[in-house]
Chain A
Amino acid sequence: MKIHEYQAKAILKQYGVAVPEGKIARTPEEAEAIARELGTDVVVVKAQIHAGGRGKAGGVKLAKSPEEAREIAANMIGMKLVTHQTGPEGKEVRQVLVEQGLDIAKEYYLGIVLDRSRSQLVIMASTEGGVEIEKVAAETPEKIIKEWIDPLTGLRPAQARKIAFALGLKGDAFKNAVKFLHALYEAYVQTDASLAEINPLVETRDGRVLALDAKMNFDDNALFRHPDYAELRDLNEEEPLEVEASKYNLNYIKLDGNVGCMVNGAGLAMATMDIIKLAGGEPANFLDVGGGASAETVENGFRIILSDPNVKAVLINIFGGIVRCDRVARGVIQAAKNVDIHVPLVVRLEGTNAEEAARLLDESGLKLQVANSLEDAAQKVVASLA
């Protein structure tokens, strides 16, 4: 689960992570009022969208007066911000974070993420603040400091000091950085985060260390422990069809192609997308309907897939293992009667009672083609596009 910068900062603050003073504004007038309240010579106005690269795209601006903050906010709110992470269509800015300006001495990078190879959290830090960490990793990997965390001890003070020393921090900034690291680690663990990225982490001329930017993602599997995070979800940031699909507990991801596909199991769903492409088509979506593939889920799957106007054909690929294919076939037939399927449909059912299922589909009177293998299914669905 992704959240906005302002939400991440509010959560981090609760755990003692130092962040700049600021508030969220949904209108230019609110932005002006917040700037006045902050009272600093300069304030920063930051577009809140779920994508990185906002600075370069014009989504982060300095204002030298509350009036200027209002003007900037007026331009920013409602604009479509196009960054390298949003895609060419961009994302609409609906709110801006107005923050106090800081007297910055130096910028750093700090992140916590899971290292899957070691099954441990790793803290990464670098003196190359404000630069994308992927770029640093590719070009100057020696500049990335890594400390792996033993879950039985948590972040040890010696590790936090080691990172702060390696970043070249001294005096108050050193002490504040150590405190910052412990607070960030605590926030990561307690919130069941899956990513925490502070880029940049800044050192001010008076020795403070703060999160100038903050990105946090949460582990979807752990959301049951944090029911309050549901209200942090911003549906405006999500693809409408994906939001719709999530209401039916369907795992759907919209893509740009023209062949819709409905599959049981995530691995088989990806493999089905791959074979559509190999056969010369382009998958329109990823959709895992789960193990059972009941009439109801298939019907909902149809509705979601066919809501995408780019879809010119649909492939259903179900491997019936424990669930019998004849039952899945009956479900497909029932669903197809309830939904207007205006594009060619190819169905491949494999597993228990597959032959019975093929016979049921053939005799259903529905306009569909039955495929007898994965390859056959992909070729038939791509051929139906012509």
Chain B
Amino acid sequence: MSVLADKNTRLLVQGITGGEGSFHTRQMMEYGTQVVAGVTPGKGGQKFDDRVPIFNTVEEAVRETGANASVIFVPPPFAADAIMEAADAGVSLIVTITEGIPTRDMITVKAFLEKKATRMIGPNCPGIISPGQCKIGIMPGFIHREGRVGVISRSGTLTYEAVKQLSDLGIGQSTCIGIGGDPVIGTTFTDALKLFNDDPDTDAVVLIGEIGGTAEQEAAAYIKSEFKKPVVAFIAGQTAPPGRRMGHAGAIISGGEGTAAEKMAALRDAGAHVCESPAVIGKTMQKALGLA
């Protein structure tokens, strides 16, 4: 089983006729995802690859096809508007792949989404996948296998690395969620952990964080107080120089937090199995599950 996406998910693709959008739409369909509609303003009435109907608006696409999820490949200047259009049309899950959306736009989007019943994943993320059922995003499907471990990550290729380690050891995944590497994101580590906590088909979670912000510390506080399943964690950027990626005043709100060391300490304190090395994520999960 899985969270967020499964074989009943009916996906629409915003930006389906663009380079990235068309390439990954084909990849998703090949994986078995039900892609029911595409949206490109001005190209309504056409068909993508002679199969998927294209609409001018998300509202029309939802009405005509019953789409309940949307993946967004729209370029940065127009991405925020695309997200809000999908939320307005009542789509319950939005996955925003687009990288490079201005923070100011995302602050507006985040406030807009608060009034809607829509969950957003991303932006600047690889998407989500429930192996064997549904892939919404750009990750390579073949490295995944069906199973009972959830994965939550701020990264792309580092997530693939961790997933491959799991799959090679025979540990399958329920759902892998790329929450995105931007400062303002739709779904946080804590939000994703809550989904896995309530999922009877997820036994444990891999959490992959990185330097900057305090989302991992907030996740640690939640893990300590409420999360019932084993967590294996890795934080990238133990060797990253201070001040290069973090805004000078960005750390102050959290009282100077934001380094890998602080995040690892918080997660350790919460009872998570924290990996020092990115090479042992799979093995650590194997131990946490009592398989080795």
Contact = CB atoms under 8 A, between A and B. Distances in A.
A116 B102 contact: no
Given A120-B107, A221-B76, A266-B181, A271 B161 contact: yes
Contacts of A194: 103, 247
A138 interface: yes
Interface stretch (B39-47, B195-203, B236-244): B236-244
Given A151-B108, A352-B140, A113 B256 contact: no
A114 B103 contact: yes
B106 A119 contact: yes
Interface in B106-130: 106-108, 110-111
Interface in B134-152: 138-140, 142-143
B250 A116 contact: yes
A116 B213 contact: yes
B278 A265 contact: no
A37 interface: no
A255 B247 contact: no
Contacts of A283: 239
Contacts of B211: 270
Nearest to B260: A274
A197 B248 CA distance: 10
B156 A85 contact: no
A275 B278 contact: yes
Interface in A92-148: 111, 113-117, 119-122, 124, 133-134, 137-138, 141, 146
Interface in B143-168: 143, 153-161, 164
Nearest to B240: A270
Interface in B64-89: 76-77
A316 to B, nearest CB: 13
A350 B278 contact: no
A133 B277 contact: no
B111 A351 contact: no
Chain B interface extent, by class: 35 or more
B29 interface: no
Interface in A316-334: 319, 321-322
Contacts of B279: 275, 373-375, 378
A117 B236 contact: no
Interface string A248-277: 000001010000000111111011111111
A217 B238 contact: no
Contact of B111 (A141, A151, A378): A151
A224 B76 contact: yes
Contact of B104 (A133, A192, A195, A253): A192
Contact of A271 (B100, B108, B234): B234
B100 A113 contact: no
A266 B213 CA distance: 16
B206 to A, nearest CB: 13
Given A319-B160, A374-B279, A277 B239 contact: yes
A11 B196 CA distance: 47
Given A114-B184, A116-B250, A267 B208 contact: yes
B218 interface: yes
B210 A350 contact: no
B248 A195 contact: yes
A254 to B, nearest CB: 9
Given A120-B107, A322-B27, A375-B277, A274 B238 contact: yes
Contact of B255 (A124, A137, A253, A319): A137
Given A195-B248, A270-B236, A85 B243 contact: yes
Nearest to B183: A116
B276 interface: yes
B158 A271 contact: yes
Contact of B142 (A113, A263, A291, A352): A352
Given A113-B247, A319-B160, A274 B239 contact: yes
Nearest to B101: A221
A266 B125 CA distance: 12
Given A219-B104, A221-B102, A373-B279, A141 B236 contact: no
B169 interface: no
Nearest to B278: A271
Interface in B245-259: 247-256
Contacts of B278: 268, 271-272, 274-275, 374
Contacts of B284: none
A250 to B, nearest CB: 15
Nearest to A257: B239
A199 to B, nearest CB: 10
Which of B140, B153, B154 has the most chain A CB within a 10 Å cutoff?
B140
Contact of B252 (A119, A137, A270): A137
B4 interface: no
A117 B214 contact: yes
Nearest to B108: A151
Interface string B51-66: 0000000000000000
Given A268-B155, A275-B277, A253 B254 contact: no
A332 B253 CA distance: 44
A174 to B, nearest CB: 25
Contacts of B154: 267
Contact of A268 (B143, B161, B255, B260): B161
A57 interface: no
A210 to B, nearest CB: 20
A122 B276 contact: no
8 contacts: A137-B252, A150-B111, A219-B103, A271-B161, A273-B239, A283-B239, A321-B160, A378-B279
Given A195-B250, A265-B155, A267-B181, 10 more contacts: A117-B214, A134-B251, A146-B253, A197-B248, A221-B102, A274-B236, A274-B237, A275-B279, A319-B164, A375-B279
Nearest 8 CB-CB pairs, A to B? A267-B155, A265-B157, A321-B140, A267-B158, A222-B102, A375-B279, A271-B278, A270-B236
